[in-house]
């Protein structure tokens, strides 16, 4: 069954922060039947697996939890599915006895124990509603970035860059968003102003993305350079230690120039790459020659057929 929610569901995000979710609500049912004889024989119940699959250039957030009451959802797990991601989540199900079975099992207990059993059963029933929430990321990204709805529809590459910066590098949305106080209002001839605002917002977002990507690339280069410097210092220390030991034992130590060694290694690597490129070019040339010979023979056969 499917219907629209008049009042949204409240989701706790931690730290006293709650989000209100509104949208389409769908109720699914799962019926699993097992007879007593099969249960006595120890037959295992069917395993239930939830499959999450994202299409190309599509991204959404999946939240899994339980409904505590009419409007409160307790989230237990969450994941982001992007660009053909596919997840399989096994669901562990537990059976609850029916009302008749419960009454039959509790009838022989004392009133106090019956009250306790009824309270425990009500707690079990309150946690039996499993909830799956799917939130598309692009509309929420447009709201966070301060642009109109649909402005990022055709900007697929920009959307992917923004999501990468937000999810992987945890950059604040305030540093990436487009903030403009003079947003065009709902007046006549608003189409031109809206289009102008859209182009300006997209340009600003691209500029902000490029700035942070350059900063991240520079940090990566600095880290690589730092690791290279540490490795060079370790090699120099090892060489000096070996040289000191050799001088004590009066052993002749060859002098190493690490810069020349690195240059020689780079030259050999370049030669290997050049050799691979020559092999690829020769293979392509041979394929072209074979195609030319095949076409020549094909034309020759066609001429013979026409003469006949």
Q: What is the pLDDT of residues 214-225, one digit of tens each?
A: 999 999 889 888
pLDDT at residue 66 is higher than 80: yes
Question: Mean pLDDT, to the nearest integer, of 244-267?
Answer: 60
Please provide residue 184's backbone torsions phi and psi, each rounded to the nearest 5 degrees: -60, 135
**pLDDT at residue 185, rounded to an integer:** 47
Question: Mean pLDDT, to the nearest integer, of 267-275?
Answer: 76
pLDDT confidence of 292, banded at 50, 70, 90? confident
Q: List the 17-21 sheet strands across, edge first.
A: 17-21, 9-14, 72-82, 59-67, 130-136
pLDDT at residue 130 is higher than 80: yes
pLDDT at residue 201 is higher than 50: yes
Judge whether 91 and 49 are in contact, CB under 8 Å: yes
Per the prediction, the chain carries an average pLDDT of 79
pLDDT at residue 260 is higher than 60: yes
Q: Which carries the bigger pLDDT value, residue 294 or residue 104? A: 104
pLDDT at residue 118 is higher than 60: yes
pLDDT confidence of 299, banded at 50, 70, 90? confident
pLDDT in tens, 152-191: 888 889 999 999 999 888 888 888 888 754 444 444 445 5
pTM over 0.75: no
pLDDT at residue 11 is higher than 70: yes
**pLDDT at residue 131, rounded to an integer:** 86
**pLDDT at residue 281, rounded to an integer:** 77
**pLDDT at residue 183, rounded to an integer:** 46
pLDDT in tens, 34-64: 777 666 666 677 788 889 999 888 899 999 8
Task: For tokens 């030259």, name the residue.
Answer: 267
């Amino acid at each position: 069954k499917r219907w629209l929610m008049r009042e949204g569901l409240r989701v706790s995000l931690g730290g006293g922060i709650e989000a209100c979710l509104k949208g389409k609500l769908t109720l699914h049912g799962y019926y699993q039947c097992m007879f007593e004889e099969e249960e006595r024989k120890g037959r295992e119940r069917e395993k239930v697996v939830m499959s999450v699959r994202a299409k190309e250039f599509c991204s959404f957030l999946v939240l899994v939890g339980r409904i505590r009451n009419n409007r409160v959802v307790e989230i237990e797990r969450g994941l982001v599915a992007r660009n053909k991601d596919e997840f399989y989540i096994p669901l562990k199900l537990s059976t609850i006895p029916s009302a008749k079975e419960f009454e039959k099992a509790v009838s022989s207990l004392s009133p106090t124990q019956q009250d306790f059993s009824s309270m425990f059963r009500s707690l079990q029933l309150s946690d039996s509603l499993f909830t799956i929430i799917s939130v598309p990321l692009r509309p929420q990204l447009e709201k966070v970035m301060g642009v109109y709805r649909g402005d990022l529809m055709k900007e697929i590459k920009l959307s992917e860059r923004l999501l990468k910066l937000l999810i992987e590098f945890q950059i604040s949305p305030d540093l990436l968003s487009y903030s403009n106080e003079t947003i065009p209002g709902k007046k006549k001839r608003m189409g031109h102003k809206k289009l102008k605002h859209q182009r300006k917002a997209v340009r600003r977002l691209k500029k902000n993305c490029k700035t942070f990507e350059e900063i991240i690339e520079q940090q990566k280069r600095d880290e690589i350079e730092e690791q290279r410097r540490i490795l060079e210092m370790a090699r120099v220390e090892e060489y000096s230690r070996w040289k000191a030991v050799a001088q004590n034992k009066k052993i002749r130590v060859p002098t190493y120039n690490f810069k020349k060694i690195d240059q020689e290694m780079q030259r050999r690597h370049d030669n290997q790459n050049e050799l691979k490129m020559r092999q690829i070019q020769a293979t392509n040339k041979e394929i072209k020659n074979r195609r030319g010979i095949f076409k020549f023979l094909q034309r020759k056969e066609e001429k013979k057929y026409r003469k006949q």
